[in-house]
Amino acid sequence: MDEDQGANGTFNITIMKDGQPFDAFNVIPNRGLNEAVVTVRVENSSAIDFEKTHNITFQIVAQEINTVEGRSGIATITLIINDTNDNSPQFVPSNSGTLFVKENAEDGTSVANITATDADSGSFGTISYKLRGGTNEFEVINSTGEILVKNGSLLDREQRKVYYLTLEAIDGGGLRNTIQLEIELNDTNDEKPVFQNKLYTAVLGENEVDKTLVTVLAIDSDEENTPNSEVKYNISGGNEEGHFEIVHLDQIAVKKPVDFEESGGSFNLTVTAFDKGEPSQSSTVQVIITITDKNDNNPVFDRCPSVSISENTTYEYNVTNVRATDNDEPGSTNSDILYRIDSGGENNFHIDANSGMISVLKGATFDWNVKKEYNITILALDKGTPTQYSPAGNCSVIVTITDTNNKPPEFNPKVRMGEVNESAPVGKEFFVFNATDPDESAKLEYSLIRDETTATYVKRNLVNDTYIQGLFAINRTTGQVTVAEKLDRENVTKVILTILVEDVNALETQNAIGKLEVTLLDSNDNDPEFKEVDGAQFIPPSTYLVNISEGALVGTTTRLMKLKAEDRDEEETIKFNISNTDIFQIDSLSGDITLNKPLDREMDENLTFTVLARDSGNPRRTSTATVYVTVLDINDHFPKFQDPAPGISPPVSVNVSEDAKMGHPVYDVNATDEDAGSYGYVMYGLTGGAEDKFAIDPNTGIITVNGTLDREKKPSYTLTIQAYDNHDAEGNSKSSREQIEVKLLDINDNDPYFDKMMYNAEVFEDEAIGDSVKQITAKDDDVGNNQVITYSFNPGTNGTDYFTVDSENGEIFVNSSLKGHLGKYYLELNATDRGNPPRSNTTNVYVDVKDVNDHKPVFVALEGQISVAENATIGTKVTVINATDEDVGSNGDVTFSITPGSNQESSLPFNISRDGIVRTNGTLDRETKASYTIRVEATDGGEPKLNSFKDVTIYVRDVNDKPPVFARNTESIMVLEEERSNNSIATLTATDEDENAIICYFIVGPLPSEEVKRVFNLDKTTGELVLRKKLDRESKDKHTLVISATNICDQTPPDTNFNEASKHLMKLEVNVVDINDNSPRFKKKSFTAGVTKDSEEGFEVLSLKEHVTDLDIGNNSILTFYLDEASVNFSAGLKEELNNTVPFAIDPNTGVVKTSVYFQAETQGYVDFHVYVNDTGGKSDYATVSIYLVSAIEQVKIVVIGNKESFKKNRDSFAEFLSNVTGAIVTVDKLLTHEKIQGAVDSGPRTDVYIHAVDRNTKKVLTSKALIRLLDQNVDKLEKFYTDYLVVEVKEYEAVQPTNSPLLEPLKLGLMITGLILLLLLLIIIAMFFTARRKYQRKLKAATALSYGAPDELNRVDPVPGTNLHTFEGSNPIWLEQNFENEWPEEDEADVDSRSVESNDSNNSLDDNAIKDTEEGFGDERYMTSDLMDDFDHKIPPSQVANSDIYLMAALKEHEDTKHMNNLNKEYGRDDPYINGVIPDGVNHRISMNSDNSYNDLGEFTTFDPVTGTLLLNGMQTTEI
């Protein structure tokens, strides 16, 4: 309260704390007049926090604002704060992270003390703890949060390493929080290292060093990457000589070389594995190392000659022979040498692997121009193990290629361009048109084909073709082109020559033709010539006459005339120069003449200058022209005004009274012109500003008044005077202008005047004496004293007692107090000027004295608390606000509005009418905001308006309208598989914004939810999720639950799928953590494999890992393999042959079984053993492996379509199919990429599948022939096999006869051995003779059957491919049209007719096959193509010719060809015998034979080869029968 009145009683209200503004609260109102009721409101709720302070003290300060003293008052307020449960328990940050406890911890061992804090006080801050998950192994003290071991006997790190628990903290008010705990078991050294194999074996070559022999592996199940599981190894026995050591932690390596004879052939080592734990644990294993002998000599060449061959050398030409020797044991594989081309052959040379003969490869091409020399590096290698090679660079054969003249000359490019000047003299050499010939002996000669010479003409009528053809010549040997006749470019511009080059040294004609385009270049031999131009008179040859006005413009943009000159020479550029003048200038390129200086005819009437024209030739040529100019006169002077007085320049200013009469002289204008005659006579006129008030004499220039003047309308005039000459010539008159200012002098001829006839003014009763009421001014259009006005009130009105006026400015003031004198007052205001005589005027003034508004509205107190339901609709009436005002009239009319407060929202869901009714204006939500405070303003109708403020709090009543929601609607937890049923695995919590809301939880999905409900149970009131049964990760590794939180607890919600937008739904993913509860399992219990006896040590026989499954994952599925040597079983005699050594080893990581010894050629039998597979948890399985030693003659090769990788997936089913059909145990030994026979059609990738079979009863390997018989016997069951596996060919083993090396015998037995050898050779020769004779007889029958057999016989095929040794090529059913592809099967060279016959099938013997009548069955047309020339294939080396029936086949073929061609001669009416393979009409025909011995002519066929007696069909030698 401030008892002072008016401004002295106005004060501001603020909140201070410790002398500083305090913004935690605000006051309403913040300004008062005399008295104010103050409301303190919370502005910053964060400042009122019981946990920060229990009370707050601050001051309310009221301070005057309109007084000098600024007096103030202070009230101190102390606010006591009460606590509420607004803080949930918070776990200490240091509790986060992984907890550790030893796996051998006893019951009651403390794991950690997990604490939470609650900032609330009393019971709200009291915390209790609850543990969920892992409650069988761990427990928590409810009051302290200490985690203890509950049952230590259940802890085993090797079985379960980590436990995932949920610790919940709950305060006394029910607020809770959780933290996820991860308890990891610390390892103790309680496990020994366990070797993965019971026995390790290795093979070491004699004298080998720096070699790692075998890797031993022992696994310690204790914690990884700790000393407890860190395994070290040492050799604890059997290494007395120190030959071996442990390297790279776990590898046994050779430390120093071993001598086979001293070692006794093997070492038996004891290896100890120990960990680094305390105390250390250890175990041992036996390692047997077998020592083998070594092949240690390299082949060395003693013959590597260099040779020369011609570039046209062809296939099979023997180039040279190389030879190498090997110092290893003679006759052994270690000294048996093979040869191969290592590099440099470039697919042009071939070397015989046995003899070392280098020959030209089929399809080889040589080109002396491309490559003149081949440096062929030959490599020799022995057959020992490991293979020894000749030293690098030991043999390089240089093959030099000699040239032959076989390539034509060539112009490059064929068309060329040349130039020659037309002034070139005869004989001038200007171009070399040369050709190239890659042949070394080539000799080239050049000539012109003159008839083909063409030209481009300028003047065709002046020249003829003979002239053109003789213009140029060419040097016969060099190709140099010269000028032969005088050239003239004005007649001919271009000549095209045709040039011929020939190689005169070639045996056959070799030539080429080129074109030379010769362009004739111009010479500068003509002067420029001036030409006639527009605008000037031209007098040939070089004179111009021209008239130019003296007013012509200066500069290059105005052309006066244009000179023109021409030059008959080609592409000449003419430039111009001007001389003898500086007035004119010329553009050097265009010839445009322009002014350089202005012309003045009065100074010079006639001008002359010279122009030079110069071309751009070399040397340059010029011409000159003379130009005569006549200058024409123009009017070029302007009239000039004379100054009115010395030193005074226009414009001139003159005065004249505004009451001057008509004709009164004002000013005399004078101007002169330097031109003469009419150009110099000046006349005058007014061109602007006169407004008909003034006139000028056109001859004298005198200006006079021409109308009535009034200064008040226009105080001055600016007159524009024009002086002009030559006024009678339109367009050729020049003029000048000048301005004169005429000022009018004033006279007092105007009364003062007011803007209005009446003025109104208002003034409040509280105005002080001397306060201004209104200022009223009058105006006078005169100037000077005539314009100065004095103001006064006329007496006799009712306002003169209260008001006065300032005589100078007309401002009206209060002259006495107006308090209580309300109403209107009348005044007459007089305005008088100071003219002579003075002039005056009067206006009326009405002043209204008005009341003052000096009372504020006062609010009427509200009763009770104001509230509204949160679901109230818009427009709902909330309350009514009332206020009173002591003023009357409009000053007492009160209206209401809502105005923003300092802590009030900018947008409120309420409005208020002018009469004070508060209604809802928006949507309410108690959960978002529970109450609103609105500031209501009451305003009266006075001026100025007075207002009051009141804060009204409206509370929102709660309605249950919010569903419970999850803070995160996607959660993931981990549960160990095999976790006990009824164990709690999680607790789910949702929140509800409604007050005192009850939340229930249900499993509602995913659809259908019955499946997850059989596995999980959810407590609907607590949200605790427990297992109904154990989980199995291998059956399902993840379970997804959809949880619904709802306020409706007595009704189960319907099942639904998860929708992320639905916040009352949670998707809970339960991830099942794997434990090692599955053993590894072999897919089958027995495996069979075969290995050839020539396989090297380390050859991969069988891979087992792909045949093992383990349903566990991660570390639980890591597998190791070992071979149980105690289970090894050898076939009879094999164990002794191998010196009791297990010939196979297994890689512990990959499960690959490999050979660990070298087998001898005579070794045979099989080995059985058990292979174990273990996982990291010690679970295992085993399978039996049987490996048979197979020789090449016991294998059958099956060719299938496709590459090796695509076949591997069918490998097992392939063998199983054949095993089921044959009854034997069929095994796939190896897969090789099929090599295509050179020249055969490319039919895509194929694979050679090598198999062997074992008799199930005797366990003996069947020979390839026996296996073929089994296939033949079951042919009806194999049709699907051939189709499904895309079988192309089935072939038995093909023996390769080794080259026998001569044996060296001691000299003392020489005679005896020689005799025995000769006797043996004789018997062999006799046997070979009879054998060959019988064989050739059989071949003869076969050929006869092919040529003359009945159609049925010709088309008969065996059901199994490759099993009938006497069927012709192409008879394999795989190759028939209805099967895979129409092409010949690929055969090894000369293998079809060299097979031995050992089949018991009667159909395979020609001896039992009757040759049918050749005439039978020929009534049907038949076509058959038989390749009778296979044995003549050039790929057959000469050494094999003796062992083949090549000569017999040639004789048979010659007979058939002759017979066939004689029949053709008869058909065409020729009785003479066949001569030289020519069909009589000289045209090759294709024919068919009919049953009546007639022929059908099928039209032109292909070329007949008289040398071979065959028809050539697309390059293939064939015979048509």
- pLDDT value, residue 158: 80
pLDDT over 70 (residue 1491): no
| Helix H or strand E encompassing 933 | strand 931-939
What confidence tier does 359 reach under pLDDT thresholds 50, 70, 90? very high
Percent of the chain at pLDDT > 70 equals: 84
Say how far residue 39 (Cα) sits from the centre of its chain.
68
- pLDDT value, residue 1373: 37
**Are 711 and 744 in contact, with CB atoms under 8 Å apart?**
yes
User: Per-residue pLDDT tens for 665-724?
Assistant: 988 888 888 776 677 788 989 888 888 889 999 888 899 999 989 888 889 999 999 898
What confidence tier does 391 reach under pLDDT thresholds 50, 70, 90? confident
pLDDT over 90 (residue 491): no
**pLDDT (mean) for 1382-1398:** 36
- pLDDT value, residue 788: 92
**pLDDT (mean) for 1256-1267:** 86
The rounded distance, in Å, linking the Cα atoms of 1307 and 764 is 163
**pLDDT (mean) for 1316-1338:** 84
Range scoring the smallest mean pLDDT among 82-96, 792-806, 926-940: 82-96
- pLDDT value, residue 1464: 56
The rounded distance, in Å, linking the Cα atoms of 1376 and 1384 is 10
Q: Which residues contact 877 (CB under 8 A, 6 or more apart)?
A: 917, 918, 919
Q: Does residue 887 or residue 519 have the better pLDDT?
A: 519
**Are 63 and 72 in contact, with CB atoms under 8 Å apart?**
yes
- pLDDT value, residue 1371: 35
Range scoring the smallest mean pLDDT among 621-635, 1129-1143, 1226-1240, 1431-1445: 1431-1445
**pLDDT (mean) for 230-235:** 92
pLDDT over 80 (residue 1493): no
User: Per-residue pLDDT tens for 638-662?
Assistant: 888 887 755 556 678 899 988 888 9
- pLDDT value, residue 1481: 43
Q: Would you list the DSSP string of 370-425?
A: T-SEEEEEEEEEESSSSPPBPPTTS-EEEEEEEP------B-SSSEEEEEEETTPP
Two structure tokens written together for 1102 = 């069988």
HSE of 1260 in the Cβ direction (CA atoms, 13 Å)? 6
- pLDDT value, residue 1170: 93
Mean of per-residue pLDDT scores for the chain = 81
CA separation, residue 37 to residues 28, 31, 44, 62, 775 (Å): 8, 10, 22, 12, 44
- pLDDT value, residue 899: 87
The rounded distance, in Å, linking the Cα atoms of 441 and 1101 is 62
Among 1473, 1464, 1427, smallest CA distance to 1449 is for 1427
pLDDT over 60 (residue 285): yes
| Helix H or strand E encompassing 1458 | helix 1446-1467
What confidence tier does 1406 reach under pLDDT thresholds 50, 70, 90? very low
Residue the block writes with tokens 């112009």 = 411
pLDDT over 90 (residue 752): yes
**Are 313 and 349 in contact, with CB atoms under 8 Å apart?**
no
Q: Which residues contact 314 (CB under 8 A, 6 or more apart)?
A: 360, 364
What confidence tier does 535 reach under pLDDT thresholds 50, 70, 90? confident
**pLDDT (mean) for 329-333:** 72
Cis peptide before 644 (omega within 30 of 0): no
Residue the block writes with tokens 């071949």 = 1339
Q: Does residue 93 or residue 1065 have the better pLDDT?
A: 1065
- pLDDT value, residue 50: 83
pLDDT over 90 (residue 329): no
Cis peptide before 752 (omega within 30 of 0): no
Size (the chain), residues: 1521
User: Per-residue pLDDT tens for 774-783?
Assistant: 999 999 888 8
- pLDDT value, residue 920: 93
Most confident segment among 680-689, 1038-1047, 1507-1516: 1038-1047
- pLDDT value, residue 133: 65
What is the pTM (predicted TM-score) of this model?
0.35
What confidence tier does 462 reach under pLDDT thresholds 50, 70, 90? low
What confidence tier does 911 reach under pLDDT thresholds 50, 70, 90? very high
**pLDDT (mean) for 1134-1154:** 88
pLDDT over 50 (residue 729): yes
Two structure tokens written together for 1277 = 């069951």
Range scoring the smallest mean pLDDT among 321-325, 383-387, 842-846: 383-387
What 3-state class would DSSP assign to 1041? strand
Say how far residue 286 (Cα) sits from the centre of its chain.
56
pLDDT over 70 (residue 1302): no
Q: Name the DSSP letter for residue 1417.
A: T
Percent of the chain at pLDDT > 90 equals: 24
What confidence tier does 1274 reach under pLDDT thresholds 50, 70, 90? confident
pLDDT over 50 (residue 1509): no
